[in-house]
């Protein structure tokens, strides 16, 4: 294993590579945080990139380093810091979503005639595989059937409470992302994160031109897909687009190259209600509850339907949902938490209500719209705009409120977990930086908290680093820029 370079060596290597950079401004020696960062960002700007940075003391808010801190760029997934902090502020870290499930019909002995009705709560974790209490949602419904002595039923699975709620894709989202899990629509009723898994495989001896076998997870998945093969591609990949009530995927293989034997992709579903109904059917069958055909005549005289509570499906606490949202950068969770925040503050859901509520929340924190213009909660929208000053201010004010520890705990830890788990570290930086990352085409952002163990005056700082107009040829690239910046944040003096 290669040893990590000491912080001073990392900085020295960077400086030696930047001989073409503009001179560091007077008063900012190159062995300080301002000196290293100024040289770094001006090198990028000389190559056509846009940059901005803002570093403040986490306790007092005193600015410690600024560079074009008012430039507005796309915040990308760092918008999740905005939406999750807003949800924590309005609802509290212990808040849980509750999805009630009712029986609407009549029971005669072991026979139930009627519908299973779930009341939409907007819970983004319902049926998710990420949490033990959510993964078995359908089994809990089947167990509740058994507890009532029901062995047969005839009816449907329905969802109520979705009228008047906006559940489509967000404004400014890219249409060609729609098929994929990271762009699943934040519908008022969410099940299994509105995602199913598609796996393709070729049998031994098959050629690239042969049609692959298709396997869905879960097996009761309701999404349909048409898979084509392309044997004349430049490289191997599996790409899908939505259309015609399903998805169309193309499995590409390079000309003359090795034939890929398997591929997998997570796809979004348009109808989580159908996926939930299929899951309930599957769970009831596994628990020995027989579903009778709807064509079967009902006993006479018919009995009046009476709604009866069956079970309540409860989410993990909001602090755990926020942790998953930010550690793994889950767009659907961020949007649903944002919508729940909007409902709490305005009485309505939807992107208009979300923007109204977020603007008011930001104003409360002293963040004007010129510093942060919110449009969605996940950062997928290309209409969001934010400055480093605005993003740092959101995190700074959050730290000072009762839920602050829960928000900071939700941020990925450099070299340890989440989206920063595999990043390069030095002995000094590992575990000392918590940051939310954001990436869109040409854009890269980092917003977080850094510990400075050798600085008694400023032992903890809040930072925002935003880069725009980046491309494959930009040197240093975004990750190299963050690596150098993070080392300077932890190790170098501020003056």
CA distance 473 to 493: 31
pLDDT of residue 298: 60
Residue 299 confidence (pLDDT): 57
3-state secondary structure of 438: strand
Strand duo 262-268 + 290-291: pairing = unpaired
216-254 tens-digit pLDDT: 999 999 888 899 999 988 889 999 998 777 899 999 998
pTM of the model: 0.91
CA distance 316 to 294: 36
The mean pLDDT of the chain is 90
Do the Cβ atoms of 467 and 481 come closer than 8 Å? yes
- Beta strands 225-233 and 246-254: pairing type? parallel
Question: What is the pLDDT averaged over residues 28-50?
Answer: 90
The whole-number pLDDT of residue 11 equals 46
Q: What is the pLDDT of residue 4?
A: 42
Q: Which of 207-216, 287-296, 455-464 has the lowest mean pLDDT?
A: 287-296
Average pLDDT score over residue span 148-169: 85
| CA 427 – CA 4 distance, rounded (Å) | 7
CB atoms within 10 A of CB 53: 25
Q: What average pLDDT score do residues 129-152 get?
A: 95
Q: What is the mean pLDDT of residues 403-409?
A: 97
What is the average per-residue pLDDT within 420-441? 93
| Centroid of chain to Cα 306 | 40
Strands 195-201 and 213-217: antiparallel
What average pLDDT does this structure show over 59-63? Answer: 96
| Closest by Cα among 398, 383, 488 to 440 | 383
Handedness of CA 342, 386, 485, 48 (dihedral sign): positive
Closest residue by Cα to residue 463 from 49, 94, 65: 65
Phi, psi (5° rounding) for residue 215? -130, 130
Is 437 in a helix, a strand, or coil? strand
Q: Are strands 111-119 and 152-154 parallel, antiparallel or unpaired?
A: parallel
Higher pLDDT, residue 294 or 430 = 430
> Could you identify the residue written with the tokens 């996940």?
378
d(CA 15, CA 9): 10
Residue of 189, 269, 201 lying closest to 238 (CA atoms): 201
Confidence tier at 22 by pLDDT (50, 70, 90)? very low
| Cα 340 to Cα 334: distance, rounded to the nearest angstrom | 10
CB contact burial 301-340 (16+ within 10 A = b; e otherwise): eeeeeeeeebbebbbbbbbbbbbbbbbebbbbbbbbbbbb
Q: Is the pLDDT of residue 7 over 50?
A: no
Which residues, including other chains, have CB under 8 Å from residue 198's CB and lie 6 or more apart? Answer: 214, 215, 216, 225, 240, 249, 264, 265, 266, 267
453-454-460 Cα angle (round to 5): 45
Count H helices and E strands in the chain, helices first: 12, 19
Q: Count the alpha carbons within 13 Å of 434 in the hemisphere toward its beta carbon.
A: 19
Quick one: how far is CA 292 from the chain centroid?
Answer: 40
19 pLDDT exceeds 70? no
Q: How far is CA 147 from CA 30, 51, 144, in A?
A: 71, 61, 5
Quick one: pLDDT at residue 293? 87
Task: Determine the pLDDT at residue 255.
Answer: 80
| DSSP character at residue 223 | -
Tokens in use for 387?
A: 């400055």
Model pLDDT, residue 164: 58
DSSP assignment of 395-434 equals HHHHHTSTTHHHHHHHSPBTTTSGGGTTS---TTTTTTEE
Q: For the residues 391-416, what does the mean pLDDT come to? A: 97
> For a pLDDT cut of 70, what percent of the chain falls above it?
91
Helix 79-91 vs helix 351-364: crossing angle, to nearest 10:
80
């Amino acid at each position: 294993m290669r040893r990590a370079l000491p912080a001073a060596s990392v900085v020295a290597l960077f400086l030696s590579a930047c001989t073409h950079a503009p001179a560091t401004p007077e008063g900012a020696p190159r062995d300080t945080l301002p000196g290293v960062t100024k040289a770094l960002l001006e090198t990028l700007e000389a190559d056509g990139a846009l940059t901005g940075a803002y570093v403040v003391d986490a306790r007092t808010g005193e600015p410690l380093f600024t560079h074009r801190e008012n430039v507005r760029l796309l915040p990308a997934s760092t918008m999740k810091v905005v939406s999750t902090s807003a949800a924590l502020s309005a609802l509290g870290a212990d808040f849980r979503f509750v999805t009630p499930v009712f029986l609407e019909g009549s029971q005669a002995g072991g026979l139930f005639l009627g519908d299973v009705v779930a009341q939409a709560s907007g819970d983004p974790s319902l049926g998710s595989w990420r949490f033990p209490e959510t993964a078995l949602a359908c089994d809990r419904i089947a167990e509740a059937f058994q507890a009532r002595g029901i062995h047969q039923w005839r009816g449907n699975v329905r969802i109520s409470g979705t009228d008047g709620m906006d559940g489509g894709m967000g404004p400014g989202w890219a249409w060609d992302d729609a098929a994929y899990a990271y762009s699943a629509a934040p519908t008022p009723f969410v099940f299994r994160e509105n995602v199913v898994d598609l796996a393709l495989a070729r049998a031994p001896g098959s050629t690239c031109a042969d049609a692959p076998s298709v396997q869905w997870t879960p097996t009761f998945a309701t999404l349909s897909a048409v898979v084509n093969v392309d044997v004349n591609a430049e490289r191997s990949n599996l790409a899908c687009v939505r259309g015609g009530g399903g998805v169309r995927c193309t499995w590409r293989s390079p000309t003359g190259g090795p034939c890929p034997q398997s591929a997998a992709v997570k796809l979004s579903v348009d109808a989580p209600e159908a996926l939930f109904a299929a899951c309930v059917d599957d769970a009831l069958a596994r628990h020995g509850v027989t579903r009778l055909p709807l064509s079967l005549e009902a006993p006479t005289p018919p009995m009046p339907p009476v709604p009866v509570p069956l079970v309540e499906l409860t989410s993990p606490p909001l602090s755990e949902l926020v942790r998953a949202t930010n550690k793994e950068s889950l767009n659907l969770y961020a949007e649903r938490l944002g919508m729940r925040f909007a409902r709490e503050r305005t009485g309505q859901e939807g992107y208009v209500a979300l923007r109204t509520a977020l603007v008011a929340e930001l104003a409360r924190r002293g963040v004007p719209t010129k510093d942060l213009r919110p449009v969605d909660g996940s950062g997928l929208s290309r209409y969001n705009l934010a400055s480093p000053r605005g993003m740092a201010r959101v995190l700074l004010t959050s730290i000072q409120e009762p839920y602050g520890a829960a928000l900071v705990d939700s941020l990925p830890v450099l070299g340890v977990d989440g989206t920063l788990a595999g990043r390069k570290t030095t002995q000094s930086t590992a575990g000392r930086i918590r940051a939310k990352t954001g990436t869109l085409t040409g854009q890269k952002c980092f917003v977080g908290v850094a510990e400075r163990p050798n600085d008694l005056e400023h032992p903890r700082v809040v930072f925002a680093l935003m880069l725009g107009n980046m491309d494959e040829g930009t040197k240093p690239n975004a990750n190299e820029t963050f690596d150098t910046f993070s080392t300077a944040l932890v190790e170098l003096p501020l003056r």
